[in-house]
Amino acid sequence: MEIKGEILRILRSGKVVSGEEISKKLEVSRVAIWKHIQTLKEHGYVIQSSPKGYHLVKTPDLLFPWEFSKIKSEVIGKKIYHFMDVPSTMDVARDFAERGEKEGTLVIAEAQTKGRGRLGRDWISIEGGLYISLILKPKIKPSYAHRATIMSSVAIAKTIDRLYNLDARVKWPNDVLIGENKIGGILAEMKTEMDIIHYVIAGIGININNDPPEKENTTSIKKEVGKEVSRVEFTKSLVDELDKRYSLIKNKFHHILREWRSLSSTLGRLVKVVTTEDELEGYALDIDDNGSLLLKLRDDTIKRIFAGDCTHLRKKHIRIG
Ligand code: BTN
């Protein structure tokens, strides 16, 4: 039992509750309760103490593990590590994975000093954004590892739609957009052998209450909704959406592919894809079950692209086929 989570649950009744009452309910000494309350205060919870007891006045919107103690998931988020700031959650998660940490474990940071994006880019990670690395150990072939990012992008888009009724879309290979503007992205790093995946770290970065870097084509939930939102609520929903889909990765991936296709902003469009060998332009026809993009080139040949950087060239969706 996470005592701090339990104390907060009791205090969230809105009433003034005595230390004695909390201690009886949780079968923990009053001194221990007092200590937990002090720690909560140090972490930014405003808790007034009076002779009658404790009164919770304000909760910071920080992603402490005890805020998620009531999550009922099968795999994702069963264990959460939280840091105020780290260079990159990817490295922390990799170290945990190397030491045998269970799959589903989340590494969350309030800020990162060396956040990284795809293709060696930086991921500016100031407070207010969401920075998570998720340790996964799917029992699938290494060539299917992309499924983890496809699943994550669908889960992010569904969370945004579910909480704020915004039309979030997925862009191949692993961005999430609102309109044409990027709101989040996923970086996958993995350790594999010939035919097994030791682990995949899915790094998720989402602009929530942070102002994204002054680049073209970026947005945040705050910008779209017009006010700050609860990052705790967002993370709970995201964990739920990830957890619902994770079990489908191995044998029922077609369900996730169906969702991805219906959320896709890329399919049916003229796109440019830069890979390590090529720069290609064509119509995005579909993705296959390892997440590769099927691109119809000008000479009507179809190219299967496993990884690359994709730019949408036209605003409007175009009929293909
Ligand atoms: C992209 O380029 O779109 C992917 C961005 C991924 C950023 C996340 S934030 C959490 C995790 N830690 C990192 O350093 N990167 C990923």
User: Hey, what are 12's tokens?
Assistant: 């969230």
> Has residue 215 got a pLDDT over 80?
no
Ligand 1 pocket, CB under 6 A: 88-90, 112, 115-118, 121, 123, 131-133, 175, 185-187, 203-205
What's the sign of the alpha-carbon dihedral 173, 244, 138, 106?
Answer: positive
Measured at the CA of 253, the angle between CA 155 and CA 163, to 5 degrees, comes to 15
Give residue 167 CA to ligand 1 midpoint distance, Å. 22
Specify the residue with its C-alpha closest to ligand 1, atom 10.
Answer: 131
Specify the residue with its C-alpha closest to ligand 1, atom 5.
Answer: 117
pTM for the model: 0.94
What is the model's pLDDT at position 70? 79
Is 148 in a helix, a strand, or coil? helix
In this prediction, residue 2 has a pLDDT band, given cuts at 50, 70 and 90, of: confident
In this prediction, residue 212 has a pLDDT band, given cuts at 50, 70 and 90, of: confident
Pocket test for ligand 1, best of 113, 126, 131, 132 (most atoms within 8 A of CB): 131
- Exposed (0-12), middle (13-18) or buried (19+): which is 29, by Cβ within 10 Å? exposed
> Has residue 124 got a pLDDT over 50?
yes
Taking the C-alpha atoms of residue 200 and residue 138, their distance in angstroms, rounded to an integer, is: 8
Pocket test for ligand 1, best of 90, 112, 187 (most atoms within 8 A of CB): 187
Mean pLDDT of 6-13: 94
How does pLDDT run across 54-88, given as a tens digit for each residue? 999 999 999 999 999 878 899 999 999 999 999 99
In this prediction, residue 185 has a pLDDT band, given cuts at 50, 70 and 90, of: very high
Atom of ligand 1 nearest to the CA of 87: 14
In this prediction, residue 321 has a pLDDT band, given cuts at 50, 70 and 90, of: very low
User: Hey, what are 219's tokens?
Assistant: 């947005």
Q: Are 89 and 107 in contact (CB under 8 A)?
A: yes
Give residue 130 CA to ligand 1 midpoint distance, Å. 10
How does pLDDT run across 246-256, given as a tens digit for each residue? 999 999 999 99
Mean pLDDT of 177-186: 96
In this prediction, residue 213 has a pLDDT band, given cuts at 50, 70 and 90, of: confident
Atom of ligand 1 nearest to the CA of 116: 14
> Has residue 138 got a pLDDT over 80?
yes
In this prediction, residue 319 has a pLDDT band, given cuts at 50, 70 and 90, of: low
Taking the C-alpha atoms of residue 112 and residue 204, their distance in angstroms, rounded to an integer, is: 12
Give residue 14 CA to ligand 1 midpoint distance, Å. 37
